[in-house]
Structure 1
Amino acid sequence: MKRKASSLTSSAKVKRTQAPQQDYCDVKTRRTDENAVLWPASPAAIEGARQFMRQCAEAARKTLIVPDKDADGLDAGVILLRTLTALGLARELIEVHLLAKHANVHDESERMAMQTKDPGYIIVVDHGSMEAPPIVDSPDTKCLVIDHHLSDKFPKNASSRHHLFLRTKFAGHSIQALRHRADFFVRWARTAT
């Protein structure tokens, strides 16, 4: 039995349109005085992240990787895990911390959950950055926030106020393709500039 096309009547509901919101991808690219692209990440931010990962591996202390639970966050988490182990950090010292449903990395409950694990290093991936308390209150814990969304706001006492972009559009790729990209990232982390 076919459905008949409904006729519009005066009582038909009209769909309300909302004003379009600016998407984070629409943000203008930042450039240096020489017109070189500064965002998504400055050379100083990229080098800072490289040094952070080397220092993390050499310190041989417990490390938390805190990825978002979407495809790009989890892929980036795998790449970071492989990078840190390739740089010499023992796998037993790396723990993945997934946030509770609807939680934010800056929520007090998550900050306490991470702090109770007593990490020496925390790498937050794909959660964005905002003006908030430190990721954890321990002055001995070092933290790196990696994200592909532009932000000029950072947690309190952040030592580096640069935005680091990590492109992780690997959803739907094979494990072999992901390993290839992870191997590339390992080579990048080992490279001296």
Structure 2
Amino acid sequence: MKRKATDSDTNSKAKRQREPEADYCDVIPRKDGKGNALWPASEQSIERARSFLKECAASQSKTLIVPDKDADGLDAGVIIYKTLIALGLSPDLLDVHLINKNVSVHDEMERAAMLAKNPKCIIVVDQGSRAAPPVVDSVDTKSLIIDHHLSDEFPENAIVRYSLSKIKPTN
């Protein structure tokens, strides 16, 4: 059966064009004192993240990966997972926690769910870049935030893959 042609003047509404949002890749990168772009992160931040991952693997302790559920978050989570195994962490000690829909990693329900897994190391990937309480309320748990979103604020007591807040951009 063929569809009937509709009168385009009566049934169509003009759609409002949304203003495109600036892509994080379009942001002018911060620079060190020598004018070198700090991308993807400062050497100090990369070294802190590297040390954190090595320490988690060497500890042979429960480690929790908390990736964002989008493509880059899940991909980064898999890379972290495989890196920890390559560094010698037993796969039995690795767990993944996916945040529920419409809440953030900072939500009290999510923080309690992560704490209930009793991790010694938590790696939050592609989320968490805002001021907040510690990722979980445990002095025995260390947290690493890995994110490509530029921020100067992070959860308390977290190690951050890029902490550019102390480096002023040069013009």
Class of the TM-score when normalised by the shorter of the 2 chains: 0.7 to 0.9
Tell me the distance in 1 between the aligned counterparts of 2:70 and 2:159. 28
2: distance between equivalents of 1:154 and 1:74?
21
The residue that corresponds to 2:92 in the other structure is 92
Q: Is the counterpart of residue 49 in structure 1 residue 49 in structure 2?
A: yes
SS in 1 for 2:145: strand
Match of 1:142 in 2: 142
Match of 2:168? none
Question: Match of 1:100, as an amino acid?
Answer: N
Structure 1 pair 14–63 and aligned structure 2 pair: CA distance change class (3 A):
same
Counterpart for residue 106 of structure 1: 106
Secondary structure at the residue paired with 2:100?
coil
What is the CA distance between 1:26 and its match in structure 2? 2.5
Q: 1:93 to 1:7 in 2, by over 3 A?
A: closer
Structure 1: unaligned runs, 5 residues or longer: 165-193
Match runs of 1:1-193 below 5 Å: 6=7, 8=9, 13-160=13-160, 162-163=162-163
Matched-pair contact (CA < 8 Å) for 1:133–1:155: yes
Letter in 2 for 1:61: S
Please tell me the root mean square deviation across aligned C-alpha atoms, in Å: 2.4
Structure 2 residue matching 1:129: 3-state secondary structure: coil
Looking at structure 1, the residues matched to 95 and 119 of structure 2 have their Cα atoms a distance apart, in angstroms, of 9
Tell me how many residue pairs correspond in the alignment. 163
TM-score under structure 2 length normalisation: 0.83
d(CA) in 2 for partners of 1:3 and 1:111?
Answer: 55
Shift of 1:99: 1.1
Task: Report the identity percentage.
Answer: 57
Shift in CA distance, 105/115, structure 1 to aligned 2, threshold 3 Å:
same
CA contact (8 A) 1:150 1:163 kept: no
Asked whether the equivalents of residues 29 and 37 of structure 1 are also in contact (C-alpha less than 8 Å), the reply is yes
Change (3 A) 1:20 1:160: closer
TM-score, normalisation: structure 1: 0.74
What do residues 74-103 of structure 1 show as CA deviations (whole Å, max 9, x unaligned)?
221111111111111111100111111222
Q: Is the 8 A contact 2:145 2:161 kept in 1?
A: no
SS at match of 1:76: helix
